[in-house]
């Protein structure tokens, strides 16, 4: 699957995050599978079509995952049949798929491997290669043309995936969450992987009991390129405050802490030549703040993307007033119509108390009414329905009425 195919440009969280000073996002799906779908990077160009929101020329990524989500821990007794069910099984999934992807790539290039894992000309009697989109994406990883963002927590699995990558000749690009990263920071530094951590999440499930809020600071001090991720639409509105937590936990300097949500994630996404800092030649993505952005009192006054102002606090206040005025105008008009209808509403027909009025307004009503009353015409029935109903009944010519006496 590809997240780029389902970008929702009308999600109100885009506008709300603009109001929090966010300009660029990497969109990833959940973490239920070891090998997931292809991610996409967007700029929060509120009001643009989905394709126009995608960041042109952004490096392609893919979502991987480790841990309890993948092996279906605590999913219940009915979710114990899918492979893998253990952390060892997760590792085997990666080895199996990358072995297949390497063979697929060799067939694409017309080569194969000998017993020393060296490329040699492929036999001429092979059948034509069937295109496999999954293996194509994995082959792009092997060729360093697609990059991995991996959901992770436990140190043993973090180490495992780095070893699998080294076995197949590539590097993991980013470990997200990475709440035990402080335990293997030296190994991560040697591997060359990035860390996109939570600022201070811990103890919300078994595999994060060892998480500490100093994780980001320790990773940064060891030399790992470190950022804070949101993983939540609400938290994404306050990434500036998340960055400030690196100062509280770990005494990271304000300049380096601010990079946790600006330049460092841009480096992870291979787009730091365009965004992440203010520099001549980069995209005009700028946020004007009311205060030091690391302060809890700071508010984004204006958010610019590509030089276009997509959020303005004063304009937002004006639009809110206009919306409230329009809502009030419509409400008053509805109330007026209802009062006018009540003034001209006829009295209910006699002997019609056993009719039950519908609770929905429809066009071209088809009704079957049963009664023992006699001498009541259709007009009387409709008047009674309208009177009993709490809604306005808009009716074209009735298509059918059946009176069963």
Over its length of 405 residues, how does the chain's per-residue pLDDT go in tens digits?
899 999 999 999 999 999 999 999 999 999 889 999 999 999 999 999 999 999 999 999 999 999 988 888 777 777 777 888 888 989 999 999 999 999 999 988 876 665 555 656 655 556 678 889 999 999 999 999 999 999 999 999 999 999 999 999 999 999 999 999 999 999 999 999 999 999 999 888 889 999 999 999 999 999 999 999 998 889 999 999 999 999 999 999 999 999 999 999 999 999 999 999 999 999 999 999 999 999 999 999 999 999 999 999 999 999 999 999 999 999 999 999 888 887 766 666 655 555 555 544 443 444 444 444 445 555 566 556 655 554 444 444 444 333 343
The C-alpha atoms of residue 147 and residue 190 are separated, in whole angstroms, by 18
Identify the CA nearest to 210 among candidates 158, 137, 134, 281.
158
End of a domain among 315, 332, 354? 315
In a domain, 337, yes or no: no
How many domains would you assign to the chain? 2
According to the model, what pLDDT value does residue 175 have? 97
End of a domain among 269, 299, 315? 315
Cβ atoms of 236 and 230 closer than 8 Å = yes
According to the model, what pLDDT value does residue 202 have? 85
Cβ atoms of 208 and 182 closer than 8 Å = no
In a domain, 238, yes or no: yes
According to the model, what pLDDT value does residue 81 have? 76
Same domain for 254 and 180, yes or no, is: yes
End of a domain among 297, 315, 333? 315
In a domain, 385, yes or no: yes
CA 16 to chain centre: 14
Same domain for 381 and 269, yes or no, is: no
Same domain for 49 and 119, yes or no, is: yes
In a domain, 281, yes or no: yes
According to the model, what pLDDT value does residue 28 have? 94
H or E element, residue 37 = strand 35-38
Same domain for 274 and 361, yes or no, is: no
Same domain for 288 and 383, yes or no, is: no
In a domain, 235, yes or no: yes
SS3 string of 379-394? HHHHHHHHHHCCCCCC
End-to-end CA distance of the chain: 61
Same domain for 374 and 294, yes or no, is: no
In a domain, 167, yes or no: yes
Q: What CATH code is carried by the domain that includes residue 82?
A: 3.20.20.140
Domain that holds residue 8: 3-315
Same domain for 276 and 362, yes or no, is: no
According to the model, what pLDDT value does residue 119 have? 59
CA 283 to chain centre: 24
In a domain, 323, yes or no: no
Q: Which tokens belong to 143?
A: 């060729």
In a domain, 330, yes or no: no
The C-alpha atoms of residue 369 and residue 404 are separated, in whole angstroms, by 7
The C-alpha atoms of residue 77 and residue 322 are separated, in whole angstroms, by 53
DSSP string for 166-228 = HHTT----EEEE-TTGGGSHHHHHHHT-EEEE-SS--SSSGGGTT--TTHHHHHHHHT--EEE
Same domain for 297 and 401, yes or no, is: no
According to the model, what pLDDT value does residue 47 have? 95
Same domain for 267 and 196, yes or no, is: yes
Same domain for 184 and 97, yes or no, is: yes
Same domain for 298 and 395, yes or no, is: no
According to the model, what pLDDT value does residue 352 have? 54
DSSP string for 223-257 = T--EEE---STTGGGGHHHHHHHHHHTT---HHHH
Same domain for 232 and 359, yes or no, is: no
According to the model, what pLDDT value does residue 362 have? 43
């Amino acid at each position: 699957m590809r997240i780029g195919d389902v970008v929702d440009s009308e999600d109100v969280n885009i506008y709300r995050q603009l109001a929090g000073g966010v300009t660029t996002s990497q969109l990833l799906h959940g973490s239920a599978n070891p090998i997931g779908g292809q991610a996409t990077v967007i700029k929060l160009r509120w009001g643009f079509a989905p394709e126009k929101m995608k960041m042109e020329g952004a490096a392609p990524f893919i979502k991987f995952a480790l841990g309890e989500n993948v092996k279906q821990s605590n999913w219940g007794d009915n979710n114990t049949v899918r492979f893998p069910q253990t952390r060892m099984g997760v590792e085997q999934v990666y080895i199996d798929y990358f072995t297949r992807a390497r063979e697929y790539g060799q067939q694409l290039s017309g080569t194969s491997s000998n017993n020393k894992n060296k490329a040699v000309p492929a036999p001429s009697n092979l059948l034509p290669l069937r295109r496999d989109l999954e293996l194509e994406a994995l082959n792009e990883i092997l060729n360093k043309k697609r990059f991995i963002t991996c959901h992770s927590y436990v140190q043993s699995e973090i180490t495992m995936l780095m070893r699998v990558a080294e076995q197949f000749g590539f590097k993991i690009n980013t470990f997200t969450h990475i709440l035990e990263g402080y335990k293997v920071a030296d190994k991560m530094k040697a591997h060359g992987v990035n860390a996109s951590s939570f600022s201070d999440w811990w103890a919300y499930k078994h595999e994060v009991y060892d998480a500490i809020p100093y994780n980001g600071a320790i990773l940064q001090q060891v030399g790992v390129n470190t950022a804070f991720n949101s993983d939540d639409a609400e938290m994404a509105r306050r990434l500036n405050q998340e960055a400030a937590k690196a100062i509280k936990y770990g005494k990271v300097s304000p300049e380096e802490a601010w990079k946790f949500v600006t330049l460092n994630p841009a480096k992870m996404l291979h787009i730091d030549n365009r965004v992440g800092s203010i520099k001549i030649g980069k995209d005009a993505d700028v946020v004007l703040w009311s205060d030091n952005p690391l302060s809890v009192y700071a508010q984004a006054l204006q958010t610019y993307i590509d030089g276009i102002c997509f959020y303005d606090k004063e304009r937002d206040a004006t639009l809110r007033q206009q919306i409230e005025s329009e809502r009030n105008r419509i409400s008053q008009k509805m109330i007026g119509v209802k009062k006018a209808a009540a003034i001209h509403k006829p009295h209910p027909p006699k002997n019609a108390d056993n009719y039950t009025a519908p609770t929905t307004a429809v066009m071209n009503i088809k009704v079957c009414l049963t009664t023992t009353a006699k001498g009541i015409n259709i007009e009387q029935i409709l008047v009674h329905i309208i009177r009993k109903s709490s809604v306005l009944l808009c009716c074209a010519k009735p298509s059918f009425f059946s009176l069963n006496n």
